[in-house]
Amino acid sequence: MSVSGKKILIAVSGGIAAYKVHFLIRDFVKKGAEVQVIMTPDAEHFVTKLSLSTLSKKPVYSDFYGDNGSWNSHVELALWADAMVVTPCTANTLAKMTHGMCDNLVIATYMSAKCPVFIAPAMDLDMYIHPSTKKNLELAEGFGHTIIPAENGELASGLIGQGRMAEPGTIFNVIEDYFTNSMSTINSLQGKTVLITAGPTYEALDPVRFIGNHSSGKMGFSLAEEASRRGARVILISGPSSQILNDKKVELYKVTSAKEMLAKVFEFYDKIDIGIASAAVADYAPKEIAKEKIKKNDENLTIELIKNPDILKTMGEKKTHQFLVGFALETQNEEENAKGKLEKKNLDMIVLNSLRDEGAGFKNDTNKIKIFTKTEKKEFDLKSKGEVAKDILNFVESQLLK
């Protein structure tokens, strides 16, 4: 399955990376896709309508209004598309998309679109890591859009860092993969019940304090939404997390501590087919929770900690028919440690993300993983967590077929 015959709406906003769009159009046209380009008024400073329309073989629009009192219907453009890709997506266009600031044809078309939306951001490194950009990328992902992360390297400003728009070939591959996978994965998990643990756990010290960690819950939420899109019944058990769940079919249970998470998991365990433990469970909890707020008196304070239950290990011990997936976040001897956990916890598969890889780990929007089973190993590129969720579930499905 390729992009042949697909209708691709390419929206260009005003950044220097706009020059790369020519190559992207060429790739789509070569593979038999129909391409319609629209652009923001600022994008016209960087590339010309003439070059874009010559390559796409269609007129290019940047304005609501055409000649002689006609108008360019954003609704028609939006409903025509099988996929929309905003490339390059500047900080400004991203902010407008995520906040409904509908003051140009690109945003009006985006807001009318029902098709999947892909976003390839491009901006200078400080803009890319600015909290507003991060928040807006999170919002866009929360809307169900696919972010094609900016890459590391030299930027137009001369600075070096993350912000370069992904290469046209990468953008093309993500969209082609979408058409290939979305066809083959519609209802591919129908009839299955998937349980996912996500987020951190908080272990109370006293009424106001806790021991916790930086896990965002993003990986688990992405897995839950993707499993649900594939037709599974999804039970998501999450520690404290600010992630927004867009898919209301997912059954979300919020817990706080490891013990609560364990209890909730075992309310469902017998009935599930697949268990995925992506939660960053605290290994230890305070032995006693002080009834009153602990006062600061002495120079030193000692808190006795006791081991928390290992939820996934318990799942492994009680496994009858469930397919179990664990995560390992390692800093040294990564592969060895991950494989050790696969055995020790009686898992069918383990997903390794190394803290040594830039962009991987639990505070990032992206992840770079390796998957191990007892006999196989597969390595993946750095991708958004939404894309990583697809890779993980594709792998699970391939194992279930064996």
Would you name the residues annotated as active-site residues? Answer: 213
Q: Which is nearer to ligand C5P, 23 or 284 (CB)?
A: 284
155 contacts ligand C5P (rule: CB under 6 A): no
113 contacts ligand C5P (rule: CB under 6 A): no
DSSP 269: G
308 contacts ligand C5P (rule: CB under 6 A): yes
Question: Has 309 been labeled as part of a binding site?
Answer: yes
- CB-based contacts of 233: which residues, under 8 Å, 6+ apart? 192, 193, 194, 251
Question: Has 298 been labeled as part of a binding site?
Answer: no
CA distance 332 to 355: 9
Token pair listed for 161:
């860092």
Question: Has 372 been labeled as part of a binding site?
Answer: no
Q: What are the φ/ψ torsions at residue 69 (nearest 5 degrees)? A: 75, 5
For residue 248, the tally of other CB atoms under 10 A from its CB is 8
328 contacts ligand C5P (rule: CB under 6 A): yes
Q: Which is nearer to ligand C5P, 73 or 256 (CB)?
A: 256
Question: Has 311 been labeled as part of a binding site?
Answer: yes
Beta partners for residue 378, in sequence order: 371
Question: Has 345 been labeled as part of a binding site?
Answer: yes
Residue 385 CA: distances (Å) to CA of 52, 68, 225, 360, 382: 32, 47, 11, 10, 9
Alpha helices for 269-358 (secondary structure H): 311-317, 334-344
Q: Which is nearer to ligand C5P, 46 or 380 (CB)?
A: 380
Token pair listed for 33:
């896709």
User: What x-and-dash track marks residues 342-381 binding ligand C5P by CB under 6 A?
Assistant: ----------------------------------------
Residues 187-216 that bind ligand C5P (CB under 6 A): 197
Residue 152 CA: distances (Å) to CA of 31, 158, 236: 28, 13, 34
Q: Which of 86, 94, 223, 277 binds ligand C5P (CB under 6 A)?
A: 277
Least distance in Å: CB of 306 to ligand C5P?
A: 12
Least distance in Å: CB of 314 to ligand C5P?
A: 8
167 contacts ligand C5P (rule: CB under 6 A): no
- CB-based contacts of 24: which residues, under 8 Å, 6+ apart? 10, 85, 87, 168, 171, 172
312 contacts ligand C5P (rule: CB under 6 A): yes
Q: Which is nearer to ligand C5P, 15 or 316 (CB)?
A: 316
For binding to ligand C5P (CB under 6 A), which residues are involved? Answer: 197, 258, 277-279, 281, 283, 308, 310-312, 326-328, 341
Binding residues for CTP, by number, are 283, 293, 309-312, 327, 341, 345
